[in-house]
Amino acid sequence: MKKYYILSSAGVLLLAGCGNDNAGENETDNTGVEEETAANNEEETEEGSEPEQDEEAVEVLEEALNTLEGMDSSYREVSVDSMVEKQSIFIEDGEIFIHTVRENDENEEPLYTFTDLDDPDYSIIYREGDDEAVRYETPAPPTEDTLWFRMEAGQYETMLEEADLHYEGEEEINDYNTHALKVDGETTEDRWFEEENYIQVRHDMDEDMEVEIEGENASDEVDMDLSEEVLDFEINPEFDESLFEVPDDMELTEGTEEDMVEVIDQD
């Protein structure tokens, strides 16, 4: 990280005062000040310089941002490591409704979680094949700024302002024709955007990051190895109430957050 060395006004006055006693010393000191000031100005210019951004990369990110800003509902299938998450999001009359199905290699029974249609402050959870579903108060109800398309929009705005953006060409990802970008900001990332709607369909990051250890005055280096792929998506699907209904052959019981955790941890 570059550091700025700023000569204080008190230091300038002190040098000027010394110069009244000795003109030669004043000339020498002023020369030193000018050299240091020039060096500082050069460093500040370098630090505050505009990021390097390919025109094609900027156009792709701007199109992606326009798409996300026009969304108030979505469907995505996302693959991360051994898990596939199928998620529908709807914003209806200021309320947020989310339906999620998670499947992974370790547990063959999909996990269903969705917002209670009658009271969005509650959620319902069950695994496929269970006899009952559990209704519980959502510990941290989602807000608009936590929805994936709002969060990614914020990321793109930051990238356009601060990151180096390099266009890497076209590439096929999961049957999508995409634009490939390399983003150099706080981290170095590769991102691929589908050509028609500019939805991000792949995101790779492999970076060593220093994180603070909670409760301790210390930090640790963590390997942030991320590979996320979008297998399918739909922009602004219509609200489907049937997604938020418990199957007819399943009993709905009232539970707690602890009951929710038990459903998740089922073998």
Query: For residue 151, how many other CB atoms are within 10 A of its CB?
Result: 13
**Which amino acid is present at 214?**
E
- 10 pLDDT higher than 50: no
In this prediction the pTM is 0.76
Domain ranges of the chain: 9-47, 55-244
- 235 pLDDT higher than 90: yes
Question: What is the predicted pLDDT for the residue at 186?
Answer: 84
Determine the distance from the C-alpha atom of residue 261 to the mean position of all C-alpha atoms in its chain, rounded to a whole number: 26
- pLDDT 10s digits, 133-183: 999 999 999 999 999 999 999 999 999 999 999 999 999 999 999 999 999
- pLDDT 10s digits, 244-263: 999 999 999 999 999 999 99
User: In the CATH hierarchy, which fold is given to the domain comprising 55-244?
Assistant: outer membrane lipoprotein receptor (LolB), chain A (2.50.20)
The whole-angstrom separation of Cα 57 and Cα 213 is 36
3-class state of residue 34 by DSSP? helix
**Which tokens in the block code for residue 77?**
């299938």
Residue keyed to tokens 């460093």 = 43
Contact 223, 208 (CB under 8 A): yes
Give the pairing of strands 132-137 and 251-254.
parallel
- pLDDT 10s digits, 21-75: 444 444 445 555 555 555 454 444 345 588 999 999 999 999 999 999 999 999 9
Contact 126, 249 (CB under 8 A): no
The whole-angstrom separation of Cα 52 and Cα 159 is 11
